[in-house]
Each structure stands twice: as structure tokens, then as C-alpha cells.
Structure 1
Amino acid sequence: MSQAVAAKSLLHDPIQPTLWRMTWPVIIGVLTLISFNVVDTFFVGMLGTDPLAAVSFTFPVTFTIVSLAIGLGIGTSAVIARKRGSGREEHAKFDGATALSVSALLVIILSVIGYLTMDPIFAALRAQERLLPYIHDYMTIWFLGAVLLVTPMVGNAVLRAAGDTRTPSLIMASGGLLNAIFDPILIFGIGPIPAMGVQGAALASLISWIIGSALVLWYLSYKELLSLKAPADASWLRSARQILNIGIPAAGANMLTPLAMAVITAIIAAYGAPAVAAFGVGTRLESLASVIILALSMSLPPLISQNFGAHSFDRVGAAYRVAVRSVLIVQLFIYGVLVATAPWIAAAFTDDPEVARLIRLFIYIMPLGYGVQGVIILTNSSLNALHRPMNALALSIVRLFVMFVPLSWLGAIIYDIPGLFVGGVIANVITGVIAWFWFHRGLRLETMHERKEHAHDAPEGVADGAAEGATK
């Protein structure tokens, strides 16, 4: 499907089949991304406890840059999709080139700072002295190639903004596959290739990033989705500001989740190692159970942004409601599957009876809230698509630090670990209801603003007709 046809389908085709067509390839890509981390952890774990611990210490640092890349991708998709929806194709192409250059510049700056301050950073994280050589081996290569990590992520956002979710998913899948192939070869060595240990794990990632960057840049050029020539009323600074206005708050919101999980883990740690182990298994199950939510959170924003740019306000609301309804139904089904298989899941992860009991308890309670948690995540991505990033950030703060952490802590005080899990479900339900009304309020306000802008810019007779038609 050509980019022009794909973009047109977002504006005119029936919403439910269009959303599904965009989402199913993303599901494959998200599963591949999850497997990327699992494969790395699996092979590094075979090197021993110290190498695994060293790589684990790098997660907060690498996740900071990954969060920035995700945020920039959200900002890129929202800005470009909205301009495509309003018919400003040359602006969209220029914004795509700007997004790639801005993301590269920011990540290069962060990587240089990270490399120069590596020892103080990991000392602050309390990494033991014996782990530092492993950390240096891994992070030196990682910082060197970080700009090649962000390039495919932002490039894929440009493609999604044009209505193409299949190609980004194929690029993500190829990256995960290449990483899985190169990991054992470079970590343990084969034939003339020496064993490189954790350095090999970082190099495997770097090679997959290089190939991913080459693929996405070639495809963007082939489809003529990038332009270095600024339209008459555009500039690099103005375009960069538009992307960062959404991208930076989105990155900040993304970083709040691991912070909240760290607080919850500290609360659970008071109940002993079995509780922490069970919660760790539960959070990994959550990431798998939420694959469709995460996929929809990537495929829904271009649909919303393009229709909003085209002033198809009814389709914006309808797309949001279709996505929310789909998530609630799917997550109810997934809950039933998890409950039915809970004994086997627990047995697969542990032989400890207490850990297995707590895993089953987690499964019986926490996934009850995954559907409404999906509503929150979709609302967040939809608010970014409406160019309301501060509202999305505020919703994340409310969800995690006004509701989830306090109610989980209160539940633990009242009824120990079961109370903590119930508190988390109640927090998600309350925030999900808030998110629903928050989105519709944001849509109403943005609609009023767009109508005023459209009426101001259009000729008098046209503006009156457009305003009248939009209210029908």
C-alpha cells in the first residue's frame, strides 16, 4: 500500500478494521522488543552472576536514553500525522528530517556526558568495584552506538505517522532476530571470532542498530518521506520546538513507571525475598499480558492525529472509543486465561511453595486491573496525539503517585500483600475513569480551539460552513 493510500485510509476507511490493520503488525514488533531484552539477559546470565549483575546495573542509565527516544518518537508521530491530516505534506517531510537530526543531536550529547561521568554514575548506583570492568566493557560500546538506537525508533515513528505500521514492525523484528543471532556468537565466540563476554553483548546490539538504521533511512528516502528543504513558513528551530514540546514530557512520563515500580518493590521487600521474587515474576507476566495495549498505544495516535488535523473530530472520538472497548474485552479474556493457567505458570517459574503461592495470588488479583490500565495508557497516547503532552504527563503522575503507590501502600497496611494487590487494582479503576473523562474534555477543548483557528484562517463563507458542518 502506498503512503498516499495509507494516509487516505486513516481519514476515510471504517475505523475498526483500519485500527486492526495498523495494530496487528505492531503486536509482532512489540513481542520482538520484549524478546530482545530476554535474549540479552539469558546469554549474559550464562557468563555468571557478576556479568549479569553488571549489565543489570546499566538498565537505569540505558533506560533513560531509551525513554528519551520513545518520547521523541511520540512527538514525531503526533506532529507529522497532524500535518499530513491537514494536507501539509512538505511540512511533514521536513519535520521527519528535523526529528531525526534533533534526536541524534540530543542522544550524542547525553552519550558523551554519560561516557565522561561513567564512574560517578555507577558509584552513585552503588555498583561494586569488581563489577566496574564489566560495566565499562558494556557501556563504552553502548554509548558509542546509542545514536544508532534512536534513529530506527524515530524513523519508525515517521512511518507510523504516514499510516504504515507494517514496515516499522518488520524493522523491529529484524533487529531482534539479528541480536539473537549475534549475541551467542560474539559473547562466547565461534571459529575465528573470539569470545568477548559482556562486550560481545553490547557489540551484538550495536550491529543490529546499524542494520536497523540503514534499513529505516533507506526506506524513508525510497518513499520520499524526508526533506531537508524547509517550506517557506517553516524552520529547523520551529519544527524542533514542536517535536520537543511533546517529546520531552512524553519521555518524562515514560520514566515515571520504573520509578513507581521501584517504590512498590521497596514496600514488598519488607515481606521477604519470596514476595520480591513473586512480584518480579508478576511484572514480567504483566509485560506479556499488555502486548496488545502497547501495540494499540502505538497504532492509535497516528489515526487520531491525522483525523484531528483534517478536522474529523467525530472520527477522533470514535477511534478512541473503539480502542478502549477492544482493550477491555481482550484483557478480560486474557484474565480468564491467566487464572485458568495460574498453577502451571507458578510451577514453571519456581519450585518454592511460598513463591508459587504468591505468584498465584498476583495472577488472581492484579490482572483484574489490566483492562482499565489499558484505558489509561491509551488515553495518555491519545492526549499526546492531540498535542496535549502536559495533560498526558499529569495523568501519568496521577496514576502512579496519587493513586497507585499510595493505595497499594494503604492496602498493604490494611491486609498485607493481598491488600497491596487489591489497592493497585482499585487505583487503576479510579484512574481509568478519570482518564476517560480527561480525554473527552481534552478533545472538546482542542476541537473548540481548532474551529476558532480554522474560522480565522478560512474565507468568511467557507469558515461559516466548516464550523456549521463540524457541529453536526
Structure 2
Amino acid sequence: MILGMVMMMSFGLVDTFFVSLLGTDQLAAISFTFPVTFTVISLNIGLGIGTSAIIGKLLGAGAQKDAKLHATGSLMLSVILVSALAAIGYLLIDPIFHLLNASDNLLPYIRDYMSVWYLSSVFLSLPMVGNSVLRACGDTRTPSIIMATGGALNAAMDPIFIFGVGPIPAMGIQGAAVATFVAWLFGAAWIIWLLAVRRELMVPRLLTMAEFKESARDVLRIGLPAAGANMLTPIAGAVMTALVATYGAEAVAAWGVGNRLESIASIIILALSMTLPPLISQNVGANLHERVEAAYKITLKFILVWQLVVYTLLWLLSDWIAAIFANEKEVAQLITLFLAIVPLGYGMQGVVILTNSSFNAMHMPMTALVLSIIRLFVFFVPVSYAGSLLFDIPGLFWGNVVANILMAVVSFISFKRALARQKAQSVASEEEVTL
């Protein structure tokens, strides 16, 4: 899981590095795109969660035929929904990024990048949801290989399309999007071949309308709340980007670099958020709530210690990291400041993320959604904004840390109460059976 996620996230980080060589305006432009692109990716994540849950249950029940139909329906659904979202995004590029406080001099770069990225996002949906099918079948190795190969292709092609080689002209920031498009197109072709031909995990045809409606309904029942929770993060990120933009292009550039580094720094958290839920689901189903509590607590203890180590490394290496991603002194200073403050809250953020994934595993997706709303729009945005009013950009960074601490406390207490209720219900049910 870690390998696959690292390579998935490397797309944005590698793009950011090569685009940073073009200049501060281009780096600021690609930083503005992050909350928008992650909104589309979050939809795919939610659909993947729904797909994995439905297909895993069907395979466990021995319903291979239905599992194949649902795999095909999930892929069709992802293409339809992502295409619709991408089309809307393409038509509204200027209004959306004006709302994010992108300046007029950055919009041409943003248009160049997003016009290609939106097209490529349709091909991203296939490997993301297709990989969920493979994981539901117990195969986590192949999805990692697919994403790793895609990441390597993207990294290799970035300098070719951005700066030009031989007959290939220099495309600038648009070249980063073209490289991503080619990598995702390759991944889409690979996953369809694997599922339809090599593994025979899907039907090699389009579903009838009746078949599609049934599979889409099942996937969306679980996938929509999960997608909604995931899509709240980039929405809050967009608000934060607009807030940071009031401090200038240099601040946006530094913020964008920091956000991409955060994805890599939190990779263990994200991997655990995919591996802890199956363990919790199985033990809840077996009424072994003590094991659920033990697994939850030991995971939180580990992640708090681990992320403290990560923070220390980022803080010690902050000057070196800033020098890699920034040519201008002011941008480098802001990146250094970001890395000295914001990663201190990553451990508490891990508590929040792992608690939400645990609620999903306990079949309480609406609770996870409510906690996501509280996290982002009661704590994260308001506290960060208040910090910026009081202490400018350092206050905004410290606001991130304080918000994560407050939300971690709320999440932990909520989970303990929910688990206690499930224990009580389990005991009551056992007593009824005994009587």
C-alpha cells in the first residue's frame, strides 16, 4: 500500500519540482490547481471505497458473476461521473480560479495546465477504481506495480514535455499535464486488460441499463458518503489557498510545495487508513470489540510517535528542501517556515484520518462525514484564519497545528463512545439469544 501511494502522490510532487524550474509564477499557478485536481481525485477515492466493499462482499459470498458485473459497472460509473465533473471544471476554469484569488497573470498558465489535466482525469478514474477491484480480490501487489510504473513514466516524461527534446517542443507548464496524461492513459489500458482479459474479473462489454443501474446503486450507497468526505478536504484547501493568496504569489508557491510534501510525509497514515478498516470490520462482525479497541489504540500510539520523527526530519532538512523547490529567496524562506511549524500537527491529523476510516469500517459512514465537516469548517479553516489575523502567515501555519490537535481530541472521544455503544448492543443481543 505504501509503495502504490508514494508513486500515486509522486505525480504532483514531480510535476511541482520540474515546474518550479520554470519560475515562481508557474510554481504559483500549479499550486493553485492542487485543491481543484484533488477534488476530482477524491471522487475516484470514494468510488474506489464503494467498489472494494461491494465486490469483496460478493466474492466472499461466492457470487463471482455478480462481482464481475459490479466491477464493470463501477468502471463505467467512474468514467461517467469523472467526465461530467471534468467537463464542468473545464468550462469554469476562469471563474473557479478567480474565486481562489488567482491573479490575471497566472490564469494563462493555469488554463494551459488544467485544459489537459481535465482530459487526463478521465483515464485516471480507470486505474484508481480498477485497482480497488484487485484489492477486493486480495491483490495489493499489482495495483502498486501499476501506480509505480505510471509514476516512473510521469517522472521520465516531465522534463521531455516541459523543456522539449529534439522534435518535441518545449510546452512549459502544459508539458507537465501532458506527461501525466500519457502515464494515466497507459495505466488505464493496463488495468482494463488485466481485469477483462488476464484475470477475467469483469465482463468484456458494456452493461445493459438494468445491470448498470443495479451496480451503480450498490456502489454509490457506500461510495457517495466516502467521496463526499474526501471532497470536503480540497474544498477547504481551496478556501485556504484563497486565504494564502492574499499574501502574494510567493506565499501560494510555498503553500503548494508544503501541501505536496504533506502528502508524502503522511504516507504511513494513509496506508494504515487502508489496512486498519478490514481488521476492524472483521472483528466488529465477530463481536470482538476488545480487539477493535486494542488495534485502534496501538495504531494511534504508533502514528503519533512516527509523525514526530517525520516532523524532526522535515525541520532539520527544511533549508535543503526549500532550496530544491524554490529559486527565489522569499519563497524558500516561506517553505522553511512551513516545514518548521505545520508538520508538528501531522500526528494529530493522523488520529483524525484513522478515526474516520475506522468509522467507515464500523458501517458508520455518516458519522465519518459529520466529523470531516467539523474538522474542516469548525476547526481547520476558522482557526487558521484567526491565526492569520493575529500573527499573519506564521499564525496561519500555527492555526493548522492547533486545529489538528482540537479535532484529534473530538475524534478520539467520538470513537470511544461509538465503540462503547456497539459493545453494549452486542451484550444485549447475546443476552436476548441466551434468554
Task: Provide TM-score, normalisation by structure 2.
Answer: 0.79
1:157-196 paired onto structure 2 within 5 Å = 157-196=132-171
Is 1:35 the counterpart of 2:10? The answer is: yes
Is 1:428 the counterpart of 2:404? The answer is: yes
Distance 1:189 1:357, change over 3 A: closer
Residue equivalent to 1:333: 309
What is the alpha-carbon root mean square deviation over aligned residues? Answer: 4.1
8 Å Cα contact 1:246-1:387 kept in structure 2? no
Quick one: which of 55, 61, 69 aligns to 2:44? 69
Distance apart, 1:467 and its partner CA: 6.4
Residue equivalent to 2:80: 105
Distance 1:86 1:421, change over 3 A: farther
Gaps of at least 5 residues in structure 1 are 1-25, 456-463
More moved, 200-209 vs 396-405: 200-209
Structure 2: distance between partners of 1:122 and 1:268:
14
Distance 1:95 1:63, change over 3 A: same
More moved, 286-295 vs 257-266: 257-266
Distance apart, 1:259 and its partner CA: 3.5
Distance apart, 1:293 and its partner CA: 0.9
8 Å Cα contact 2:32-2:252 kept in structure 1? no
Residue equivalent to 1:19: none
The one-character-per-residue Cα deviations of 1:383-412 (angstroms, maximum 9, x if unpaired) are: 223332221121111112212333334445
Distance 1:405 1:56, change over 3 A: closer
Residue equivalent to 2:122: 147
Residue equivalent to 2:376: 400
Structure 1: distance between partners of 2:328 and 2:98:
34
Letter in 2 for 1:28: L
Distance apart, 1:73 and its partner CA: 1.4
Distance apart, 1:269 and its partner CA: 6.2
Residue equivalent to 1:366: 342
Distance 1:369 1:122, change over 3 A: closer
Is 1:388 the counterpart of 2:364? The answer is: yes
Letter in 1 for 2:132: A
Gaps of at least 5 residues in structure 2 are none
Is 1:251 the counterpart of 2:227? The answer is: yes
Quick one: which of 164, 182, 188 aligns to 1:213? 188
Is 1:237 the counterpart of 2:217? The answer is: no
8 Å Cα contact 2:71-2:201 kept in structure 1? yes
Letter in 1 for 2:301: R
Structure 2: distance between partners of 1:338 and 1:53:
22
More moved, 370-379 vs 262-271: 262-271
1:242-321 paired onto structure 2 within 5 Å = 242-264=218-240, 282-305=258-281, 315-321=291-297
Structure 2: distance between partners of 1:271 and 1:201:
26
Residue equivalent to 1:17: none
Structure 1: distance between partners of 2:116 and 2:335:
37
Distance apart, 1:152 and its partner CA: 0.3
8 Å Cα contact 1:332-1:368 kept in structure 2? yes
Distance apart, 1:124 and its partner CA: 6.1
The one-character-per-residue Cα deviations of 1:108-152 (angstroms, maximum 9, x if unpaired) are: 233344445556656666777777776665445444443211000
Structure 1: distance between partners of 2:14 and 2:68:
36
Distance apart, 1:297 and its partner CA: 1.8
Quick one: which of 312, 324, 328 aligns to 2:300? 324
Distance apart, 1:448 and its partner CA: 7.9
8 Å Cα contact 1:31-1:291 kept in structure 2? yes
Structure 2: distance between partners of 1:218 and 1:341:
43
8 Å Cα contact 1:69-1:154 kept in structure 2? yes
Size of the aligned set, in residue pairs, is 429
Distance 1:289 1:215, change over 3 A: same
Letter in 1 for 2:78: S
Distance 1:177 1:62, change over 3 A: same
Letter in 2 for 1:369: G
8 Å Cα contact 1:84-1:309 kept in structure 2? no
SS of equivalent residue, structure 1 residue 184:
helix
Structure 1: distance between partners of 2:204 and 2:283:
26
Letter in 2 for 1:80: I
Structure 2: distance between partners of 1:412 and 1:138:
30
Structure 2: distance between partners of 1:340 and 1:45:
22
The one-character-per-residue Cα deviations of 1:22-65 (angstroms, maximum 9, x if unpaired) are: xxxx2222222232113223444555667666655554543332
Structure 2: distance between partners of 1:272 and 1:47:
18
Distance apart, 1:374 and its partner CA: 0.2
SS of equivalent residue, structure 2 residue 201:
coil
Distance apart, 1:180 and its partner CA: 1.8
Distance 1:295 1:123, change over 3 A: same
Distance apart, 1:376 and its partner CA: 0.5
Distance 1:354 1:101, change over 3 A: closer
Structure 1: distance between partners of 2:75 and 2:296:
28
Distance apart, 1:449 and its partner CA: 8.1
Structure 1: distance between partners of 2:398 and 2:99:
34
Distance 1:103 1:259, change over 3 A: closer
More moved, 363-372 vs 262-271: 262-271
Structure 1: distance between partners of 2:254 and 2:160:
33
Percent of paired sites with the same residue: 57
Task: Provide TM-score, normalisation by structure 1.
Answer: 0.74
Structure 1: distance between partners of 2:135 and 2:424:
27
More moved, 345-354 vs 70-79: 345-354
Structure 2: distance between partners of 1:78 and 1:317:
22
Structure 2: distance between partners of 1:218 and 1:414:
56
Distance apart, 1:270 and its partner CA: 6.6
Distance apart, 1:251 and its partner CA: 2.5
Distance 1:341 1:185, change over 3 A: closer
8 Å Cα contact 2:257-2:335 kept in structure 1? yes
Structure 1: distance between partners of 2:427 and 2:212:
27
Distance apart, 1:183 and its partner CA: 2.7
Distance 1:157 1:305, change over 3 A: farther
